[in-house]
Structure 1
Amino acid sequence: MRYAIETHDLRKSFGTYEAVQGVDLTVRQGEIFALLGPNGAGKTTVIRMLTTLLRPDGGSARVLGCDVATDAGQVRRRIGITGQSAALDEGLTGRQNLLLFAGLSGHSLKEARAMAAELLDSFGLAEAGDRTVSAYSGGMRRRLDLAAGLLSQPEVLFLDEPTTGLDPQSRYELWETVRRLAKQGTTVLLTTQYLEEADRLADRIAFISQGRIIASGTPEQLKASTGGKTLTIRLGAGSDPASVCRLLANEHGLIGQPSEDGTSVKAAVQHAASAHAAIGALLVSPATIDDFMLSDPSLDDVFFALTAARGKGETSP
């Protein structure tokens, strides 16, 4: 099988800090591939190496068969990239921005005008094309930025956290755009902190943590890898989630994950009996439980299980 992107033992350090520590990736032509991980995990550093903005310190990376270190010019000619913030001139109209980027990509004025009109229409921006970008919503700016990234007609499109800061409707619109591009044959590699986004969009996913890939597969494969269910416990007012987590760990060997607002705790369980025993213990403890639920794991649950296993020095699923 020919891969659009292939890395082996890819490495990058900044001083004594190892940002990327031996990453192996394969992305098939025409698929949407998501690289998931928290801030500082190494996602953007990987993207910057693959797009030739950073030179790897070790290992190898090839995009469309071209080495990113020794054939950077050829890589640049065949890819597009959209970063975490839109690289647009807010004093120009949407159409003028596209004309500018088209000229920088080497297109004639006639070609640029035709491409700008087509892209504005494709991205639902035709009516806003002659308004200045400063009047655009966040979702409109991100779609225009994505349109600008397509002016070079890339075979591979890199999207680095493309929906950061967008409202739910704008995120959904961008998802639809990415799906349409993939159906047209464009290979898409995106990074995101939003696991739901990867679940909805990606054909395959890789989790990165502390500069290393800790798991990869389809969303279904990753969720099945936990081999069990997720117990969600909704706590009553005044209950201490840390105490609940300690009880789960000490009496039942379960690793609890408190929610950000402290109103609930999640834990991976292998059997329903384990969940019943844990709930029974909590009911006779000082903690107050308002509700609980046993469900199939989400990608959030998978990532927590993976990072918890690494923290205990265990092998990831």
Structure 2
Amino acid sequence: MPALRALVAGTGGYLPERSLTNDELAAWKGLETSDAWIRERTGIRCRHVAAEGETASDLGLRAALAALAQAGAAVEEVDAILVATSTPDSAFPSTAARIQGKLGVTRGFAFDLAAACTGFIYALGVADALIRAGQARGVLVIGTEVYSRILDWTDRGTCVLFGDGAGAVFLRGVAAEETGGRGLLSTHMHADGRFGDILVVDGGAGSTGGTGVVRMAGREVFKHAVTKLAAAVDEALAANGLGHADVAWLVPHQANLRIIEAMGKKLHLPLERVVVTVDRHANTSAASIPLALAEATRDGRIRRGDLVLMEAIGGGLTWGATLARF
């Protein structure tokens, strides 16, 4: 069997219909926030919220169908489905298996990954390894979240930051000599559990017996974010013999505009070369990078041959970066 490389054949995204603005949040009794307060600290203007009964698998299915359509791929090409999520439909079956069933895929395998906001980067790394090993040739990688279900809507330090949504890519394994240098080049994943408590959901089936809500030490997270992300970015570029000037687009995790701008400056990239959706989507955790990818490929910003750098940091702490030539 020839050596395979994972090409990003299609991208797709889906946002719930309801958009919740900062002004609407500011009108909630007891929240004590404002549009100006939220924008100045985060860059967020609004976020989307899933409808009652709308689950992570529902959102993920819509994103997956869009990615398959852009790739011109039939469901029969799907060998594996990897879903990054912190808000699964249930403990089991996995959200990936639920999406597999809704797609009508009856072959291959499906499983979830839990790495919080870094989940999509982790899932890309696993999918790439599966393709290189010859265990799959068509892989759906999906990030899907309904964070509105795990927020304390009285805590302005967290509830204003997050939104719901899903993004997906369809990876196709192609003989390396036929790619022209395109495809996933490398993924670099890291974790340090010593800092787990600075960004945490304070519950779970195996501990409290309940879901819990997001709790965050915002300043501590910010302190770690830029340094750890910068190190992962440099690691990815060095591994491929590339420099900052080679990067056409930065597609970062959409957590905070200040962090995004800081990463752009470290790469010497103008903001025009950084894909930003945080203002309209807020932080959709594992869905944020694939949602941004879907938007930037759909509107023509990311073109064939472009070198795209993706990076994220999340609860765990987890962080990582992926380098791909589209």
* Global fold match (TM > 0.5): no
Q: TM-score, normalised by structure 2?
A: 0.25
Q: Which entry has the higher C-alpha Rg, 1 or 2?
A: 1
Q: TM-score, normalised by structure 1?
A: 0.26
